Homo-oligomer: A and B are copies of this chain.
Amino acid sequence: MAVRVDVEFGAKDAFRAVKRGDLIIVVDVLRCTSSIVNALANGAKAVIPTETLKEAYRLRDQHPDYLLVGERKGRKPEGFDLGNSPLEFVPEVVEGRTVIMTTTSGTRALVRGRRAAHVLVGAFLNARAVAEKAAEIPHRRKVNVSFVLAGEKSLFSLEDFLCAGAIASEFPAGRFDFSDKALAAVLGFECVKGALSEYVGKSRHAKHLIELGFERDIEFSCMLNRFGTAPIYRDGKVTLMR
């Protein structure tokens, strides 16, 4: 039987995908999942997402050697080592380090999806790799796939929708049965894949980030298939499990 592919449009809807028993792909292109993918690709050992600032500070107190990163309202909170700009996660800073990350939406979606049997971290940066990993797991065990778009305030995010389309468009034909939402996402992506950053730049959240001076983050986050890694969230940590 074909693997069903569906999409939840908001972080708060992660629970539905968990309830269905689906493999979850969390997408928050601007900027949480792009930052996680880049941090791990650049040698970070693990990323620990937390929902709250309080929890992030507490973890850091317990582990002073961990990096503390993330944002509130787009900006780096007090006492944090790094913000949520994927470009900050360079090898000189992150290599060999464990990273505590808390963001407004992305890390929240991850934590809320933690009861799913499989949680992958997706971005344009690793679209094909995530698709391959997501196609391999249902092949071994019968599970369906749900994207959880983690855009801010649980609103529909154009950039995450297009990214779900980018990933879904890499699923091997025939074995996957797309819901109407998944079909729409693939169509949207196919339409703009030649000019991703231009279209992502029209989104509400991109405009906000441009106002804050993070235009380069958008360019970077739109680099399709820059990395061949598919981070997995398990036991409270995101890693590049091999």
Contact with B along A174-188 (1 / 0, CB 8 A): 000011110110011
Contact A180 B192 (CB under 8 A): no
List chain B residues, Cβ under 8 A from A204.
179-180
Nearest-Cβ distance from residue A130 to partner chain B, whole angstroms: 20
Judged by a CB distance under 8 angstroms, whether A115 is at the interface is: no
Q: Does A219 contact B (CB under 8 A)?
A: no
- Taking CB atoms, residues of chain B closer than 8 Å to A199 are 183, 187
Give the interface SS of chain A, mostly helix, strand, loop or mixed. helix
A102 at the interface (CB under 8 A from B): no
Interface residue A158 (Cβ < 8 Å from any Cβ of B): yes
Q: How far is the CA of A49 from the CA of B155 in the complex (A)?
A: 31
Given the complex of chains A and B, what is the CA–CA distance between A193 and B56 in angstroms? 48
Q: How far is the CA of A21 from the CA of B205 in the complex (A)?
A: 24
Point out the residues of chain B lying under 8 angstroms from A188, CB to CB: 184, 187-188, 191
Residue of B nearest to A191 (CB): B191
Docked complex: A171-220 residues within 8 A CB-CB of B: 178-181, 183-184, 187-188, 190-192, 199, 202-204
State the CA gap A199–B161 with chains docked (Å): 18
Residue pair A192, B187 in contact (C-beta under 8 Å): yes
B190 A202 Cβ-Cβ under 8 A: no
Point out the residues of chain B lying under 8 angstroms from A181, CB to CB.
Answer: 156, 158
- In the complex the two chains form, is A203's CB within 8 Å of B191's CB? no
Q: Which residues of B contact A158 (CB under 8 A)?
A: 180-181, 183-184
Q: Is A157 an interface residue (CB 8 A)?
A: yes
> Considering the chains assembled together, what is the distance between the CA atoms of A180 and B199 in angstroms?
10
* A161 with B190: CB separation less than 8 A: no
Give complex CA distance A157, B191 in Å. Answer: 19
Within A4-55, which residues are at the interface with B (CB < 8 Å)? Answer: 9
Taken together as a complex, chains A and B put the C-alpha atoms of A188 and B203 apart, in Å, by 15
Residues of A142-163 whose CB lies within 8 A of B: 151, 155-158, 161-162
**Which residues in B have their C-beta under 8 angstroms from that of A191?**
187-188, 190-191
Please give the residue numbers on chain A whose beta carbons come within 8 Å of chain B beta carbons, in ascending order.
9, 151, 155-158, 161-162, 178-181, 183-184, 187-188, 190-192, 199, 202-204
Nearest first, the 7 closest Cβ-Cβ pairs linking A and B are A191-B191, A158-B180, A187-B188, A187-B191, A156-B181, A188-B188, A184-B188
17 A-B residue contacts at CB 8 Å? Answer: A151-B180, A156-B181, A156-B184, A157-B180, A158-B181, A162-B184, A162-B187, A178-B202, A179-B204, A183-B199, A183-B203, A184-B184, A187-B187, A187-B188, A187-B192, A188-B188, A188-B191
